[in-house]
Structure 1
Amino acid sequence: MTAVLHSIPKNTAVAVAATGLGKHFTVGQRQIAALEGITLNIRVGVVSALIGPDGAGKTTLLRLIAGLLAPDHGTISGFGLDPMTQTDAVHAITGYMPQRFGLYEDLTVQENLDLYADLHGVPTRLRSERFHELLEMTKLSAFQDRLAGKLSGGMKQKLGLACTLVARPRLLLLDEPTVGVDPVSRRELWLIIERMVASGTTVLMSTAYLDEAERCHEIFMLHAGQMIRQGAPDAELSLLAGRCYEIHGAENFTRRLQSRLAEQANIVDAVIQVDAVRVVTAQPQPPTLDDLAAEFPSLTVTSVRPRFEDGFIVRLKPLVEQVNLGRALSPSTQAVDREGTVIEVHEVERWFGDFQAVKRISFDVKRGEVFGLLGANGAGKTTTFRMLCGLLPPSGGQLRVTGIDLRSAAAKARRRIGYMSQKFSLYGALSVRQNLEFFASAYRLDRGQRRVRLDWALDEFQLAAYAESSSGDLPLGHKQRLALACALLHEPEILFLDEPTSGVDPLMRRAFWSAINALAEQGVTVLVTTHFMEEAEYCDRLVIMAAGSLLAAGRPKEIRAQARSPDRPNPTLEDAFIQLLHNIAGSDVGASQAGPKGGLQGRSPQQSEQTPS
């Protein structure tokens, strides 16, 4: 993990000030307090992060600062300006990039920049130099004439940021700016943010990725609309002394060890970290492993330094509704034959006109495996995913799922598959219950099965309290739980998860991987895409794609070994990922240490909606 950007400046000038800020919304019959009693000061010339679980109020606060919402009570100002009474002046100095930035996909990169320059009233005489600077900064100079809709996810994010910066704002508000981008693009985005701060811009960003928050000068932690912590990210690490450990020795059963440790009462958190399981204990003492000795006879425990994510989990876990998705998917008592191959990909390719998106790739997936499909934005992952689900026919090669040829019997194969897409793609106007009923019908469950499975989904995914709520109004984590429940209604043999934890907070991310691990223990085969490299450590095997081809395949430790060097004896998966891309592209991004570790999720231009049939 890299260090924070730099030491906190001594400058005490305030860019944004809020006192007693409150905002309420009416959703259905309920009154929801999105923010209540928020008081904060954001200083000039720093990067600050808004963090918290889903529904904490992060986006609402950003929109209030930008003058897009009016507070119900309290006061707020940006550089001394009131967003409600001095709206035009606030908009003139503020750049706001929402989660779904409004690029015009039928316009080129240059035309989007021209449009936003028009909207912001940028003088014509200044545009040429400013456009050149932004295109160079975002590495989009070679793509000026490309339609925005044809860009990869990471390139879209960089273009969105360039459009936000076209007026050179004093205050830059970024809502989840790195969701949807691979580790290389993520580092490039951070280089841009650093450059803007160095030029005097004040940056406030929301993020679900705590390695990013750890890089910021200050953090503001929200929960249920209230401020529960603010200050430097490392301010409370001393409270975690003697509570953070790594446990080695599970060999190829690290995922199972992580699951066992997570169940222990004296352990607050357990996550896979390279070849070990990293744990945070409830008290400052090593974890007790006596109960695991029979199953894992060679375990060793090593004390490690705390990190900011440990503090986040310790502080928020007691406050947040615990979602144990793994309990819904308890392992089967029957032995699972893990030798059988259930997915076969041989020399598969896919063309879109004269563009070859997938280039004669081959791999196989065993029953009960968690298999990872990784790659940069635009690498061909989603196209491959859609072909495997039977949603897109291959142009050539052979695809077989559970022994069924997808070229000749795609519909038959789809009945054995569950699919959860990158983007929430259920029906937002329908209630939670209505979405479940629709997918149960689409999966052709009979009336008896339908009633049992709907009750199961509402109960085990803890959605009963939201059964009559419109699914489009749910917090992101609840939407993802509903999408996973819909994908599992018909008890599929194979589950395809395309960026299942995209943008969700660390607590919900852990709940999802608890479910994935439990499914694999049952014998369900799980094929997952992710840009978050720490998640990829949970996979039994994985492949890495770039430009439609396979760069590497194997167990995580085998791929990590490809990046090992005298200067880097213990590389992470992200190190290996970036090194592989560096080798084929000659890019200097991989050598940069400017950006945070980890990777986020994205949407490729070929993304499709969730399809149950």
Structure 2
Amino acid sequence: MTDTSSTPHHCIVLDKVEKSFRGLTKPAVASLTTRIDSGGVMGLVGPDGAGKTTLMRMLAGLLKPDAGTIRVIGLDPLQDDGQLHAILGYMPQKFGLYEDLSVLENLNLYADLRSVIGEERTTIFEKLLNFTDLARFTDRLAGKLSGGMKQKLGLACTLIGQPKVLLLDEPGVGVDPISRRELWKMVHELADEGMLILWSTSYLDEAEQCRHVMLMNEGELIFSGPPQTLTQRMVGRSVLMATTQGTNRKMLQKALTLPQISDGVIQGKAVRLILKQGEDHQQLPALLHQPGAKVEEAEPRFEDAFIDLLGGNPANESALGQIMPSVEGSPQDVVIEAISLTKKFGQFAATDNVSFQVKRGEIFGLLGPNGAGKSTTFKMMCGLLVPSGGKALVLNLDLKTSSGKARQHLGYMAQKFSLYGNLTVAQNLKFFSGAYGLYGQRQKNKIADMTKAFNFTPILNQEPNSLPLGFKQRLALASALMHEPDILFLDEPTSGVDPITRREFWLHINGMVEKGVTVMVTTHFMDEAEYCDRIGLVYRGKIIASGSPDDLKQQVASAENPNPTMEQAFIDLVLGYDQGGQNE
């Protein structure tokens, strides 16, 4: 039992809080007892279905707990809802911005709802617009803002009324590294001023920025404390190993099947492996058939500890890679090419004279800040937008004139999955296979293969809208692959899903690439960029840097920071371009 008698004014106290939903075998939140104090950002971390959003909604008074008590600054969220709403700001995952209202009109609407009027409104608006750097954009429609600017406007609207408690449910989703860094800077300032902040996230590099984290899994609190405490448990168990023969993709696939390995990801030209407790990394070259390979200890990350605490990476071999046919052709074949590609909207060039090539069996990543032009470029490359100038070629076919023929070879997974929410999983699979020209026994066989590869059997009769994000993502990928395309376009395919689901997704991608499938991907996850063979960094409509992940990191390496992360490379290259690189 939590002693609340000495509770300071700015804290949240939970005592044996439980919440279950009909149809689920386990509680969404199971007998949670903890205390959250102000004075720094508290991170709420966990995989899909951990109970993070359910807990947030109970704290905001939007859900009633089945058992236990909640006190937010001494107030009961249900009985004292009027008092609580006056001091609490809540920003859900899909924040209610009105896209056809301007920035200022949105702020005015939320000020009206909060009864902030007169001089107080003028003062708070000025402060918030400066704080979020949105003063220049007050007349712009919210729908025309980039993802990062939308999140900043959502935060500004949440801060009207100057709350003492701030609940942020995954505010970093879909936001590029520079915008996320700006969001964090703002939130740290608010925490330093004494605001109690709970930040829910599936980005584990964000968790490292928190003073304290609560790590949840299947409704239970499995760790509470400073993130560094958990990370330090991994000292000596995180290693980097470069391949001496074959590809790092093949080596990773082999490593994940070893009983000595808890987790593994690609990191540039090397593979980052996490050893199970008590294992010796000196035996890895022999186990992985990599004679003479160098294994060196790596600085442990919170993500290593997170995956290890959850029992390690459940992925081993890709069932999807096994059912995809091998693609004929040479690794030297150019299968995707942009030639002086340009797209103008009025006088604005969203894509400005962009050229690149992607070869057979490569993973090519388009990275860039929100609003940089990467999605526009991406959509032209898969035939969804017509270029204003230049050419988008797939298998040497111009998408402007031969899009039908080229599309037979393409699989496309959109950023916002184009699933039919009112059809069941089975009906979606049947619809998409039929749309790609599969009928009769061939269609039945392909649906059976995908059902087995993605373990859809338990959910075949459910509608996608009722499924966790990870299952929607698997279904969207399966739907895009029904016709066995040899070229795959993935537009932010794992935005918002947790690290374990992302690992499974990339295991499938790597399995298909080993069969010769060519992949073009956009992502805001810099650890995912490490899986790419080559990267084009798009900014202000141009490719400002290109090369392998290690090439880009070397471009910003310095005596002070000889081993920059992919995120540091992204930020430094973009800021460097702004600071005069474009004039060189």
Contact 1:560 1:572 (8 Å CA) reproduced: yes
2:278 maps to which residue? Answer: 284
Identify the match of residue 443 of structure 2 among 436, 447, 450: 450
Identify the match of residue 428 of structure 2 among 425, 428, 435: 435
SS in 2 for 1:569: coil
The runs of 5 or more residues in structure 1 that have no matched partner are 1-9, 588-613
Cα-to-partner distance string for 1:247-288 (whole Å, 9 max, x where unaligned): 235499333332322222210011223443221111333332
Contact 1:317 1:507 (8 Å CA) reproduced: no
The runs of 5 or more residues in structure 2 that have no matched partner are 1-5
Contact 1:213 1:233 (8 Å CA) reproduced: yes
> Match of 1:483, as an amino acid?
A
Distance 2:244 2:370 in 1: 33
1:329 aligns with 2:321: yes
Contact 1:325 1:460 (8 Å CA) reproduced: no
Identify the match of residue 16 of structure 1 among 4, 12, 16: 12
2:22 maps to which residue? Answer: 26
Between 496-505 and 15-24, the greater mean CA deviation after superposition: 15-24
Between 307-316 and 151-160, the greater mean CA deviation after superposition: 307-316
1:340 aligns with 2:333: yes
Shift of 1:245: 1.6
1:46 aligns with 2:46: no
Shift of 1:36: 2.1
SS in 2 for 1:289: helix
TM-score (norm 1): 0.89
Between 252-261 and 14-23, the greater mean CA deviation after superposition: 252-261
1:420 maps to which residue? Answer: 413
Contact 1:105 1:149 (8 Å CA) reproduced: yes
Alignment of 1:191-206 (within 5 A): 191-206=185-200
Identify the match of residue 550 of structure 1 among 524, 531, 543: 543
1:224 aligns with 2:190: no
CA RMSD of aligned residues (A): 2.2
Alignment of 1:313-462 (within 5 A): 313-317=307-311, 322=314, 326-330=318-322, 337-462=330-455
2:156 maps to which residue? Answer: 162
Q: 1:251 to 1:574 in 2, by over 3 A?
A: farther
Distance 2:328 2:392 in 1: 27
Distance 2:411 2:422 in 1: 22
Q: Kindly indicate whether structure 1 or structure 2 has the higher relative contact order, using CA contacts under 8 Å at least 6 residues apart.
A: 1
> Match of 1:158, as an amino acid?
K
Shift of 1:461: 0.6
Alignment of 1:512-523 (within 5 A): 512-523=505-516
Distance 1:93 1:276 in 2: 49
Shift of 1:181: 0.9
SS in 2 for 1:257: helix
Distance 1:410 1:150 in 2: 29
2:555 maps to which residue? Answer: 562
SS in 2 for 1:329: helix
TM-score (norm 2): 0.94
SS in 1 for 2:400: coil
Contact 1:427 1:471 (8 Å CA) reproduced: yes
Alignment of 1:110-121 (within 5 A): 110-121=104-115
Distance 2:348 2:109 in 1: 29
Cα-to-partner distance string for 1:530-560 (whole Å, 9 max, x where unaligned): 1111211111111010111111112222222
2:116 maps to which residue? Answer: 122
Shift of 1:452: 0.8
Cα-to-partner distance string for 1:464-487 (whole Å, 9 max, x where unaligned): 111111111111111111111111
Contact 2:89 2:163 (8 Å CA) reproduced: yes
Contact 1:97 1:161 (8 Å CA) reproduced: yes
SS in 2 for 1:495: strand
Contact 1:418 1:487 (8 Å CA) reproduced: yes
Contact 2:285 2:291 (8 Å CA) reproduced: no
SS in 2 for 1:364: strand
1:488 aligns with 2:481: yes
Distance 1:270 1:260 in 2: 10
> Match of 1:521, as an amino acid?
E
2:3 maps to which residue? Answer: none
Q: 1:96 to 1:250 in 2, by over 3 A?
A: farther
- Identical aligned pairs, as a percentage? 48
Shift of 1:224: 1.5
Distance 1:17 1:439 in 2: 48
Contact 2:87 2:165 (8 Å CA) reproduced: yes
Q: 1:61 to 1:325 in 2, by over 3 A?
A: farther
Contact 2:267 2:531 (8 Å CA) reproduced: no
Contact 2:88 2:163 (8 Å CA) reproduced: yes
Q: 1:398 to 1:252 in 2, by over 3 A?
A: farther
Distance 1:290 1:85 in 2: 62
